[in-house]
Structure 1
Amino acid sequence: MISRAEYCVIACAEAWRGDGEVLASPMGLIPSVGARLARLTFAPDLLLTDGEARLVTTAGATEGWLPYRRHLTMVTGGRRHVMMGASQIDRFGNQNISCIGDWAAPTRQLLGVRGAPVNTLNNPVSYWIPRHSPRVFVPAVDMVCGVGYDRAAAAGARYHRIPRVVSDLGVFDFATPDHSMRLASLHPGVTVEEVRSATGFSLSVDAEVAFTREPTAEELRLIRDVLDPEGRREREVRSA
């Protein structure tokens, strides 16, 4: 039986399909498993980093040197595809990881803006959200950290693109005329009504919504025996 977490791994891996030779920068366990799975299967040109100064293989062995100045060159030239988290995200893909509530007097302090504006304006950024709820998918973020399609258009950002948002309920993109969020696929066992009730704004939903594709037998073997043999993915996303 394929678990919900394994569907999420596949959905994250698919974010890098067709990217070619770019630096994959996954943040979090399931995105990291997804990026390495993509590298081992349909995206062999992906570059993986240890987050410091090395390019690494899927097993963690060093295969190149990536000092910070070269990393920034890739970032500003659109040659990196990040998968970040989001404490809040709105219908145009604006993301917040800084604070909840008014910036001058927040009710909760979070990570801070960090590199989100540079990431989103200069290279493709996808998002991974392990707990889909109206508290995360909000009508308007309390503070813009990652830049969405509405603001990117005004800024004339050359490399801005949000390929997908993956949650524990499904996959979302912005393939609509106004670049508002669309339900692209449901993870098996999830309904459209369940997604709508867990989303704090009106989603674009096609008449027929596909299900997230199943992993192949080889992909399942890689996930379970090679990339995450301890099953940590199941602690991040529990099956319904």
Structure 2
Amino acid sequence: MSSPTTNTTTRAEYCVVACAEAWRDAGEILASPMGTVPTIGARLAKLTFAPDLLLTDGEALLIGDVPAVGAPAEVTEGWLPYRQHLALVATGRRHVMMGASQIDRHGNQNISCIGDWAHPSRQLLGVRGAPVNTLNNPTSYWVPKHSPRVFVAHVDMVCGVGYDRAAAAGPSATRYHRIPEVVSNLGVFDFATPGRTMRLRSRHPGVTVDEIVAATGFPLTVPDEVPYTREPTADELRLIREVIDPGGIRDREVPA
């Protein structure tokens, strides 16, 4: 497949669009993006193809406008106390996009430690809310630096629950469990395979399939034809550059 026509779209902007697609036609659910690029993506979705998406100020308020990254909201739609937030989580009415220090081919995610649990070589964030997120509402992942150290054969500790472990736990674990997509600085991945293992869905322009396979530490399902991640429209680029992230913070997370 030939490469798209050369333009000024940056890798970070392709990643923003790919993250935004996680919330396409999501309806009135709560978006919980973690990281700069997912945050821009959620706001882009809200301003374009997912107008009913609920956004927060990152604390306890539902916001009614879409401010630039780092700017305060000017419109408040409602109050989201912790109890109500947990109610949204527990009933599948939230779609969170988390980070992953490690992720395996089944979608198990680790953000707690690297190495043996008894004597880890690195202490990370801790389990946090990953098990509750993954078992109770759709959870996607954002990885700004795709490498075999992140995409691993086996995670050192399971924080976010993957498809294999959810299935083993039974219906109570699978009712709301869903991993719509994994976005990295190289491409977009999903689990649309018979065994619910990771599949390459698209690659960002300028990236080859061989580069992605080499940067992945487990066998990746690769279709015969791998499309490029879709181009942002002119209006989407305007919103990203002029409205949502005029300071270009996205390029710090994914350098050009």
Range class of TM-score, shorter chain: over 0.9
Q: Decide which moves more: 160-169 or 11-20.
A: 11-20
2:178 counterpart of 1:178: no
SS in 2 for 1:208: coil
Choose which of 22, 25, 36 in structure 2 pairs with 1:18: 25
Aligned residues: 239
Deviation at 1:65, TM superposition (A): 1.0
TM-score when normalising by structure 1: 0.98
- Counterpart CA distance in 1 for 2:26 and 2:240 is 21
Aligned pairs (5 A) from 1:1-240: 1-56=8-63, 57-59=65-67, 60=73, 61-155=75-169, 156=171, 157=173, 158-239=175-256
- Counterpart CA distance in 2 for 1:111 and 1:2 is 33
Cα-to-partner distance string for 1:144-189 (whole Å, 9 max, x where unaligned):
0000000011222210000000000000000000000000000000
Deviation at 1:128, TM superposition (A): 0.3
Deviation at 1:18, TM superposition (A): 2.3
- Counterpart CA distance in 2 for 1:11 and 1:45 is 19
Cα-to-partner distance string for 1:48-75 (whole Å, 9 max, x where unaligned):
0122210012122311111111100000
Identity %: 76
- Counterpart CA distance in 1 for 2:105 and 2:226 is 18
- Counterpart CA distance in 2 for 1:63 and 1:20 is 16
SS in 2 for 1:126: strand
SS in 2 for 1:185: strand
Root-mean-square deviation over aligned CA pairs:
0.7
Q: Decide which moves more: 53-62 or 229-238.
A: 53-62
- Counterpart CA distance in 2 for 1:151 and 1:49 is 31
Deviation at 1:19, TM superposition (A): 1.6
Q: Which runs of 5+ in 2 are unaligned?
A: 1-7, 68-72
Structure 1's consecutive aligned runs of 4 or more residues displaced over 3 angstroms after TM superposition are none
Amino acid at match of 2:40: V
SS in 2 for 1:207: coil
Q: Which runs of 5+ in 1 are unaligned?
A: none
Amino acid at match of 2:102: Q
